[in-house]
């Protein structure tokens, strides 16, 4: 729910800081005081189009921010988590509008596009009376509300899962049929390629080994000559080898170290060097003796490398990738050779998946039809209580031509505001007041199933008064029992039903005009409602009437509890 609202230099508001509570909050004030400024500010936080004309005259920018408690909104917490915007149970929205009309938007301090505000706002606030943020006008939201009311969540998820399974199997079947149509030609090609690859019989890593062996064989003569020369220098020459020189030096050091012990470490180093030279000579001797000057062997290696590179060029890949290609061709050949069996199995699987979807979707259709009939009757009754006698509400279910993840029908809210008028889609209801009352009736009936925690009603009392206004107020108060309801109203019958009340006042010093919002204590509420009842001149009768209205509303809530 909305817990805090902060406004700076917006419209005629210079500074405003509000703490908002649960339940029903009435926003009242004289005509022209700017009661709708709060609604407009929240609308901007929810992604409404920004306009520099909303900046207070003389200011450089408008700054609006709000804090939402997400304890009861796991879907909003998930949305934030998926975008690394976690706020530990809270969500901070902020929008700064500059003089050039551009805006900067923030979610939990992170810059975000306005579209992100709109997406998140769909879960946070519903503004009734204006078409913006009016979730009930969206067909998807209408179907969601019906399913929530009917308790269809598990069945809806089951239908969607069956649809995904059926769709995945259908795609696999299409792919297999496409492959089967080209099966014979592809089989011939695969067998031809595999015959070539099998003849070469290249194994993983063999190319690197062949290339290394080719370099060694091609340069065997140089390797032998140079190796033997180095071997002679190290240990096999009759003309003073490195080993002989080290042995001679070691003998001399041994003699000298008897005279000076500090030469002992040097003698040890020379001894280790002699050992290393002798070991290197042995290794080099074995290497030279093992070298092969076999031209036939070299020719065989080069011939195999040439064949591998030619075949690799044919398939446009590196020679080292040929074993992987061979394995892929073998797998494809196996699939095609057994495609008839797989085709039969897949066709059967598609039929079973379609039947499972149909069974679940039919169950969902029955539940939706029953719930739609019940909900239509209850909302129609509520419309009569809200000053729309003869008004009818209907949830129509239209059968779709093909299956969808959401089931086999679309859901549309339709309404007839007056007797004799045909039912029309809710989205085409022209009157903001009628739309507000219709939305109110739906929200009250479905309050326990609804997901959006904060509802704002603007113009909810348009064109009504007297007893109907009191009914509207009671309905809003009832709705505030488990939701946060903000209602902009000019009717005392509605304001008196609120759990708390905010008064919007416009002040001027002759040069500038400012709007402020003041939370009202009980006594101040009675005075404000008396003003709404009787104008500026407050009499004892109007004050007594106002007190009676407030106390009656509080008493009715106590009795209901």
| pLDDT confidence bin for 559, thresholds 50/70/90 | low
Q: What is the 3-state secondary structure (H, E, C) of 265-333?
A: HHHHHHHHHHHHHHHHHHHHHHHHHHCCCCHHHHHHHHHHHHHHHHHHHHHCCCHHHHHHHHHHHHHHH
Q: Which has more pLDDT, 419 or 412?
A: 412
The number of beta carbons lying within 10 Å of the beta carbon of residue 533 is 20
Distances (CA, A) of 348 to 158, 173, 344: 21, 10, 6
Q: Which has more pLDDT, 180 or 99?
A: 99
User: What length is written for the chain?
Assistant: 561
Of all residues in the chain, the percent with pLDDT exceeding 90 is 36
Q: Is 425 exposed, middle or buried (0-12, 13-18, 19+ CB in 10 A)?
A: middle
pLDDT over threshold 70, residue 537: yes
Distance CA 326, CA 346 (A): 27
Give the model's pLDDT for residue 131.
Answer: 47
pLDDT over threshold 70, residue 433: no
Q: Is 541 exposed, middle or buried (0-12, 13-18, 19+ CB in 10 A)?
A: exposed
| pLDDT confidence bin for 42, thresholds 50/70/90 | very high
Per-residue pLDDT tens over the stretch 447-501:
656 678 998 888 666 667 778 888 888 888 988 888 899 999 989 999 999 999 9
Give the model's pLDDT for residue 231.
Answer: 82
Give the model's pLDDT for residue 143.
Answer: 92
pTM above 0.85, yes or no: no
Q: Indicate the class that CATH gives domain 2-158+357-520.
A: alpha beta
| pLDDT confidence bin for 560, thresholds 50/70/90 | low
Distance CA 149, CA 450 (A): 8
Q: Which has more pLDDT, 290 or 71?
A: 71
pLDDT over threshold 70, residue 561: no
Give the model's pLDDT for residue 150.
Answer: 92
Alpha helix (H) ranges present in 316-409?
322-337, 339-385
How distant is the alpha carbon of residue 59 from its chain centre?
37
Q: Is 17 exposed, middle or buried (0-12, 13-18, 19+ CB in 10 A)?
A: exposed
Distance CA 444, CA 321 (A): 68
**DSSP SS3 for 132:** coil
Give the model's pLDDT for residue 130.
Answer: 47
| pLDDT confidence bin for 525, thresholds 50/70/90 | very high
| pLDDT confidence bin for 91, thresholds 50/70/90 | very high
pLDDT over threshold 60, residue 376: yes
Q: Where are the domains of the chain?
A: 2-158+357-520, 183-337
What number is the average pLDDT over the span 6-18?
91
Angle between helix 466-479 and helix 540-560 axes, rounded to 10 deg = 40
The answer to whether 538 and 484 are in contact (CB under 8 A) is: no
Give the model's pLDDT for residue 152.
Answer: 93
| pLDDT confidence bin for 232, thresholds 50/70/90 | confident
């Amino acid at each position: 729910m909305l817990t805090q609202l902060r406004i700076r230099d917006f419209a005629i508001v210079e500074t405003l800081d509000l703490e908002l509570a649960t339940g029903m909050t009435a926003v009242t004030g004289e005509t022209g005081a700017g009661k709708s400024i709060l609604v407009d500010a929240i609308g901007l936080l929810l992604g409404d189009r920004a306009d520099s004309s909303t900046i207070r005259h003389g200011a450089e920018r408008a700054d609006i921010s709000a804090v939402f408690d997400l304890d009861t909104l796991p879907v909003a917490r998930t949305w934030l988590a998926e975008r690394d915007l976690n706020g530990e149970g809270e969500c901070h929205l902020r929008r700064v509008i500059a003089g050039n009309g551009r805006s900067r938007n923030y979610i939990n301090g992170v810059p975000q596009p306005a579209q992100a505000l709109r997406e998140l706002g769909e879960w946070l606030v519903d503004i009734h009376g204006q078409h913006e943020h009016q979730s009930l006008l969206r067909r998807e939201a209408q179907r969601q509300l019906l399913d929530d009311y009917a308790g269809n969540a598990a069945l809806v998820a089951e239908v969607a899962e069956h649809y995904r399974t059926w769709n995945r199997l259908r795609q696999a079947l299409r792919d297999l049929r496409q492959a089967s149509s080209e099966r014979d030609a592809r089989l011939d090609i695969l067998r031809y390629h595999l015959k070539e690859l099998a003849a070469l019989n290249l194994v993983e890593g063999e190319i690197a080994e062949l290339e290394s062996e080719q370099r060694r064989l091609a340069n065997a003569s140089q390797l032998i000559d140079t190796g033997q020369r180095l071997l002679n220098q190290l240990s096999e020459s009759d003309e003073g080898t490195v080993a002989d020189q080290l042995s001679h030096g070691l003998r001399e050091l041994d003699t000298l170290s008897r005279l000076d012990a500090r030469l002992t470490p040097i003698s040890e180093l020379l001894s280790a060097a002699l050992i290393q030279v002798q070991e290197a000579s042995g290794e080099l001797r074995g290497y030279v003796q093992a070298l092969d000057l076999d031209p036939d062997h070299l020719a065989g290696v080069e011939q195999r490398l040439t064949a591998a590179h030619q075949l690799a060029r044919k398939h446009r890949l590196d020679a080292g990738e040929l074993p992987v290609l061979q394995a892929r061709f073998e797998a494809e050949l196996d699939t095609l050779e057994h495609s008839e069996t797989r085709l039969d199995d897949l066709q059967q699987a598609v039929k079973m998946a379609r039947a499972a979807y149909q069974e679940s979707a039919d169950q969902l259709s029955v539940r939706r039809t029953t719930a739609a009939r019940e909900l239509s009757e209850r909302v129609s009754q509520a419309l009569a209580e809200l000053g729309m006698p003869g008004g009818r509400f209907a949830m129509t279910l239209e059968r779709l031509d093909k299956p969808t993840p959401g089931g086999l029908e679309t859901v549309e809210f339709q309404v007839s505001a007056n007797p004799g008028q045909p039912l029309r889609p809710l989205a085409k209801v022209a009157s903001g007041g009628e739309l507000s009352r219709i939305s109110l009736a739906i929200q009250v009936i479905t309050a326990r199933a609804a997901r959006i925690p904060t509802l704002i009603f603007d113009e909810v009392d348009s064109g009504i008064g007297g007893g109907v206004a009191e009914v509207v107020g009671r309905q809003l108060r009832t709705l505030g029992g488990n939701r946060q309801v903000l209602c902009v109203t000019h009717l005392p019958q509605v304001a008196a039903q609120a759990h708390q009340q905010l008064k919007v006042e416009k002040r001027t010093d002759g040069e500038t005009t400012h709007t402020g919002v003041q939370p009202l204590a009980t006594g101040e509420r009675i005075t404000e409602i008396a003003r709404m009842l009787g104008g500026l001149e407050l009499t004892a009768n109007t004050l007594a009437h106002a007190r009676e209205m407030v106390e009656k509303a509080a008493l009715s809530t106590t009795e209901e509890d």
